Structure 1
Amino acid sequence: MKKNAKLNLWLWKWHFIAGIISLPFILVLAVSGGWYLFKDIIERPETDRARTVDVKGTPLSFQEQWDIAQKATTKQINSVVLPKTKNKATEFVSGRFSNTLESVYINPFTGDITNHRVVRNTFMYKVRKFHGELLMGSFGTKIVELAACWMVVLVLTGIYIWWPKQKWKSKRLFSIRTGHGKRILFRDLHAVTSFWISALLLLILAGGLPWTDVFGHNYKWLQEVTHTGYPETWNNSNYRSVKQGDPVPLDSVIQLTYGLQLPGKTTITLPENEKGVFTVKNETPALENQQIFHIDRYSGKIIGKDQWKNVGVMMRSRMWLMNFHEGKFGTWNFILVFLTAVLLTLASASALCSYLLRKKRGDWGIPPVPPQYKAGKGIIAFIILLGICLPLFGLSLIIIYGSYSIKQRFSWSVKNTGLIQKG
């Protein structure tokens, strides 16, 4: 593409501003996010010890195990994870959100509690909270969201700036000059590395934004008004058990669940009250294999079911991107996201080194843009659209532009009232 020199300078200026705003947080998010990818590997030894039991004798009924687990915690047990083999402890879970989850593991042969795990007390939970909100609660979440928004700007402006002015040459994709001084070396290292991860980085950012407060809230609202989320048949609150006699034991529901032969991790949500239902759902990296079933607690019969193919397009997109963000699609996904985190750290560090080597004392190093230059209507329209889609970015842009306008007016006022005199 043919580049506009003035537009290139203008975008370089905004690329610099985006870097100033987001660079410290990029380093934090890249390192903490890369670390969190190893959650399952780090926690596996502990969970394996909790879940693995010796097979001996006749196991207790699941109903009896449920009673033992309930006595071991002050919270109401609300779900049970289906054991896949006989040598696995039964996991009973209380809490519905990440900060309230507790798991009690019961040895089905002895009734002993093999582990009582409180998620919020684990080290990797703290890493996740640091990655998502900088350990600052809702305020921290908004800071992370703002940094993510400006990262999008960094990627888009960076691609345009890096794109060669002259005829395209494939060696540009790999060209890192080593004999032209440190600044050029760090500059090329930043530019080439950033280009190679740009598409993946945008995907990862898209997968993280649904967790945020402002963008995530707006996304959920749009999902609701367009009816592109979960179908009503997915939600167990739309079903009621018809009371007739005594409730069926948990063992009957579990046997029915085994018969469904669902792939992946299968969880049975327990009824909350007399009219509540059992809800069976499975989690698997292959999202299209996820299903959900609702079972009457008195008759033990399936009264509702649904499949992933009936989930709305916005929810399907959201879940795919969020799973990709966490590297849940298997080894290939894990490697891609971890490699992106490593290269993003390298690109950010090299950008900082290049800038410090380029920057002159007393000068921010922002390239001057001709004052008469006005960005085209297409660019302005795109920025407005980006500001609408990413509200915190739009708000920060208004603040920056407002501050700049006030500064310009103040400078003009000082100059024209003679407060600044030569000599």
Structure 2
Amino acid sequence: MSGTPSASPKVPGSRGYRTLWRWHFYAALFVMPFLIVLAVTGTIYCFQPQLEPLLYPHRLVVTPAASPRLDEDALLARARTALPAGAIATTARIESRADRSAEFIFRLPDGRKESVYLNPYDGSVLGTLDVDRRFMQLDRMIHRKLLLGKPGELLMELVACWTLVMIGTGIALWWPREAASMRALLVPDLSRRGRPLWKSIHASLGIWLALGALAFVATGLPWTGSWGKQFKALATSAHLGSPRGAWGGLQLHSKIAGEANVKTGADSQRNASSSAMDAMPGMTMDDMPLPQVPWAVGAVRVPRSPDSDAPGVRPISLTQLVGQMRVGGLVDGYDIALPTSPDGVYTVSYFPADPKLERTLYVDQYSGALLRDIGYRDYGAIGKAVSYGTSLHMGRYFGLANQILCAALSFGLAALSITGFVMWWIRRPSGTLGAPVRERAAVSMRGWKAALIALGILFPLMGVTLVAVWLIDRAVFSRTAAPAAS
């Protein structure tokens, strides 16, 4: 699956050409089918704002009324009636658009999560949806882990890493050794027929998509389940990801009404030393029942408060909290994780298209005091970069144009997979894998070897598979690789 156009003066017999082609072949053979899956699922998820109201019009869309909307507590009380006893409200979606329903997420006694949708004007229940079986959630889980759980997540991480090898070797195969016209290098020669035509299309399309493909991989890897989590931990420890103090040391806790606000001497010291313990047993933001959480705060521990049986202590209402958020500048499109225990706090996550507007807030469930407001300004350099990359990757940053660009890149990568497969199928000898033959003489290629070693160190999971592919290639395919036409 060479990426070299026939118009390029770089000849297939040049030193190192077949070695690069061989690695390009193995990388592409592995990632091709997954790139098609990623292209389809990623494009669907990119257009979620337009598609979901079409998929669930009777649940998500309402007719605006002249009467005022019911308050959040009244709507939550109505939502409880739609579910069996024992269901616990975990999340509230705050949406102020006049034509959108109100949504609350509950955890059922059997562990499932169920969304309840209501007409915000009269409180009527419009229906329910299993959160994990919602179409967009299924699409997202296919995109991230092929619905295979942790093994699928690791597999898709490997796909992303091997895509880097495919892109790098593809560019190297395309790169001209001598002078060549830009038209010959960048525009496919449609006058050709058969495999030369497919090769010309593949090479030209590949070089046009290379930069976008690299951006897709680079912005997707921080969200992977293995490397992404380790990368987030490293960025946090270096104060380049999450805000300072996010992993313990934040003296945040929900204060019971009537508790003294001033502590001195031994009490202050004891409170400071136990602040980390308040957070240690708690969940991180990534563990919270929230649909979306900014990457930079994913590792932040959610503050907790001591249990209290004090008489007359009552949490503030959801309506009060929403009013407080409105005063603080949050009006629409955010989620609230509701406290489900006496030591919990209200956790508000605002994940808009513009990363500079991202906010994560913790609010005392008893007094309504704002414990902390984390915004883009508090992120480290890496956290800020990942936030922008995520918004671009999801097609959110500059509206419809961003969505169309992401769709074009996605289906361009799918087209590369298809053209590469056709090229391989045309030249593949019957009954063999059809891998390109090795160089006749040893080629050092120190730069490429160093790059692969560096890639294997940076991505350990990929490093293991690089060694495995090299060993299998030497042991199994060293004698069976048939000569292939360029």
Distance 2:91 2:393 in 1: 26
How far did residue 183 of structure 1 move?
0.9
- The alpha-carbon deviation at position 219 of structure 1 amounts to 1.6
| Contact map agreement 1:267 1:281 (CA 8 A) in 2 | yes
Over residues 195-226 of structure 1, what are the superposed CA-to-partner deviations in whole Å (9 max), with x where a residue is unaligned?
A: 11111111112222233333223223323332
Map 1:213-232 to 2 at 5 A: 213-231=225-243
- CA distance, structure 1, for counterparts of residue 222 and residue 87 of structure 2: 29
Cα 1:302/1:144, change in 2 over 3 Å: closer
* Residues 409 and 160 of structure 1: CA distance in aligned 2, closer, same or farther (over 3 Å): closer
Match of 1:90 in 2: 102
What is the rounded CA distance, in whole Å, between the counterparts of 2:347 and 2:477 in structure 1?
A: 62
Work out the CA distance in 2 between the residues paired with 1:118 and 1:134: 19
Shift of 1:295: 2.4
**CA deviation vs aligned residue, 1:286-345 (integer Å, no higher than 9, x gap):** 110122333222322323222211112233333332332221222122111100122112
Query: Whole-Å Cα distance in 2 between the matches of residues 340 and 24 of structure 1?
Result: 16
Aligned residues with identical type, % of pairs? 26
After TM superposition, give the deviation of residue 161 of structure 1 in Å: 0.4
Q: Evaluate the alpha carbon distance shift between residue 297 and residue 28 of structure 1 in structure 2; reply closer, same or farther with a 3 A threshold.
A: closer
> Partners of 1:79 and 1:174 in 2: how far apart?
51
Cα distance in 2 between the residues matched to 1:296 and 1:179 = 70
1:240 to 2:249 alignment: no
Aligned in 2, Cα 1:265/1:54: closer, same or farther, shift over 3 Å?
closer
Q: 1:372 aligns with which of 442, 464, 480?
A: 442
SS of the equivalent of 2:356 reads: helix
What SS does the corresponding residue of 1:5 show, helix, strand or coil? coil
* One of 69, 73, 82 as aligned partner of 1:72: 82
Distance of 1:162 and 1:106 partners within structure 2: 56
In structure 2, do the counterparts of structure 1 residues 332 and 16 end up closer, same or farther at CA, with 3 Å as the change threshold?
same
Given the superposition, is the C-alpha separation of residues 218 and 303 from structure 1 closer, same or farther in structure 2, using an over 3 Å criterion?
closer
Q: 1:415 maps to which residue? A: none
Q: Distance in 2 between matches of 1:212 and 1:80?
A: 27
- CA deviation map 1:361-400 (0-9, x unaligned): 4661504313422222x32221111011222321111112
CA positional deviation for 1:232: 5.8
Letter in 2 for 1:265: G
- State the partner residue of 1:318: 386
SS at match of 1:72: coil
Picking from 126, 132, 135, the partner of 1:123 is 135
Code of the residue aligned with 2:328 in structure 1: it is: L
Q: d(CA) in 2 for partners of 1:395 and 1:143? A: 13
Kindly provide the amino acid, as one letter, of the partner of residue 191 in structure 2.
G
Conserved? CA contact 1:232–1:238, under 8 Å: no
**2:343 is matched with which residue?**
275
Which secondary structure does the structure 1 equivalent of 2:105 belong to? strand
Return the alpha-carbon distance in structure 1 between the equivalents of residues 99 and 246 of structure 2: 32
Which residue, out of 175, 178, 181, partners 2:193?
A: 181
Structure number with higher helix proportion: 1
| Aligned CA distance change for structure 1 residues 75 and 8 (closer, same or farther; 3 Å) | farther
Amino acid at match of 1:269: A
User: Partners in 1 of 2:474 and 2:202 — Cα distance?
Assistant: 32
Q: SS state of the match for residue 103, structure 1?
A: strand
1:374 partner amino acid: S
- Deviation string, structure 1 residues 7-61 (Cα, Å, up to 9, x no partner): 2222111111112222222223223333333333221135554342553656544
CA, structure 1 residues 380+291, in 2 after alignment: closer, same or farther (shift >3 Å)?
A: same
Q: Where does residue 18 of structure 2 map in the other structure?
A: 9
Deviation at 1:147, TM superposition (A): 2.1
Residues 35, 417 of structure 2: 8 Å contact kept? yes
2-side partners of 1:53 and 1:256: how far apart? 27
Query: Match of 2:372, SS?
Result: strand
In the other structure, the counterpart of 1:205 is 217
Q: TM-score, normalised by structure 1?
A: 0.85
Q: Secondary structure at the match of 1:370?
A: coil
Distance 1:277-1:368 versus aligned 2 partners, 3 A rule: closer
The equivalent position to 1:334 in structure 2, one of 368, 387, 403, is 403
Tell me the C-alpha RMSD between the 2 structures: 3.1
Which consecutive unaligned segments of at least 5 residues does structure 2 have? 1-8, 258-312, 481-486
Among residues 171, 188, 191, which one is paired with 2:203 in the alignment?
A: 191
- Residue aligned with 1:91, SS: strand
Alpha-carbon distance, 1:194 to partner: 0.9
Q: In structure 2, how many angstroms separate the alpha carbons of the residues matched to 1:263 and 1:233? A: 28
Pick which of 25-34 and 154-163 moved more: 25-34
Alpha carbons of structure 1 residues 75 and 11: separation in structure 2 relative to 1, 3 Å: farther
CA deviation string 1:214-254 (max 9, x = no partner): 32232233233323332267799963222124322222221
Q: Structure 1 stretch 237-246 or stretch 333-342: which is displaced more?
A: 237-246
By how many angstroms is 1:72 displaced? 3.2
Shift of the alpha carbon at 1:191? Answer: 0.6
Question: What is the identity, as a one-letter code, of the residue corresponding to 2:96?
Answer: K
Structure 2 residue 267 is the aligned partner of structure 1 residue 255: no
Answer yes or no: is the 8 Å Cα contact 2:325–2:331 preserved in 1.
no
Instruction: Letter of the 2:254 partner, please give it.
Output: S
Q: Matches of 1:92 and 1:235 in 2, distance apart?
A: 30
